[in-house]
Structure 1
Amino acid sequence: MDYKDTNAAISTITYNKEAIEAPTNNIYEAISIIAKRADQINSDLKTELVDKLEEFATYNDSLEEVFENKEQIEVSKFYERLPKPTALAIEEWLNDKVYYRTPDAE
């Protein structure tokens, strides 16, 4: 999924409780689902960032040769400016883009 083209809030905002709990009729279940989705998004973003930063990695054993790569700094700043995974997960939840299921109770 492309997390860069999103309308998620950059800063903290207040959400309508009824809108969040509407799909499940249980606020705790909805928050649990959102939290699990936020963990998935965080894992995806971290993997993507590590892959991009590995392109700039230098494998020298010398600590004296530390230099800053402008492209590496720009990549890091871009990922820092993205909305937090929780905000992305809440936006997906409110737009009905999250698939969830509950195991059948016996």
Structure 2
Amino acid sequence: MDFKKVDAPRNTVTRDHNDLDRPTGNVYEAVSILAKRADQIAEDMKVELHEKLNEFATHNESLEEIFENKEQIEVSRFYESLPKPHHIAATEWERDEVYFRRPAEEQKED
């Protein structure tokens, strides 16, 4: 996922629960799906951040040679300024970009 192109809000947004539970018919199920998607997004962000920070890492054993790397600080600031994973998940949910299924219903059909 390209986090630079995400246009999710960076501030708190009030959402209508009727719009939130429309695809599922159950607000608790919708919130559960959103939470799982937010966890996926957070894990993706974490992996990507660690990969970028490892590019700048120095593998010295000496504690005396610790210095601030400006590029590393800028990468960290960029990820701090991104919208939070739950905002991204909610934006995807509103646009019907989140796929979910109900395994219990699929088993009943078989």
AA in 1 matched with 2:56:
F
Q: Distance in 1 between matches of 2:3 and 2:29?
A: 24
Q: TM-score, normalized by length of structure 2?
A: 0.92
Which residue is equivalent to 1:53? 53
Q: Distance in 1 between matches of 2:69 and 2:86?
A: 30
Which residue is equivalent to 1:36? 36
Give the drift of 1:34: 0.3
Give the drift of 1:5: 1.0
Which residue is equivalent to 1:80? 80
AA in 2 matched with 1:32:
S
- Other structure's SS at 1:64 match: helix
Q: Distance in 2 between matches of 1:77 and 1:60?
A: 24
Give the drift of 1:4: 1.9
4+ aligned runs moved over 3 Å, structure 1: none
Which residue is equivalent to 1:8? 8
Unmatched segments (≥5 aa) in structure 2 = none
Identity of aligned residues (%): 58
User: Deviation digits for residues 31-81 of structure 1, max 9, x if unmatched?
Assistant: 000000000000000000000000011111111111011111100000000
Q: Distance in 2 between matches of 1:17 and 1:28?
A: 10
Give the drift of 1:3: 2.4
- Other structure's SS at 1:55 match: helix
Q: Distance in 2 between matches of 1:101 and 1:7?
A: 26
Unmatched segments (≥5 aa) in structure 1 = none
Q: Distance in 2 between matches of 1:85 and 1:4?
A: 13
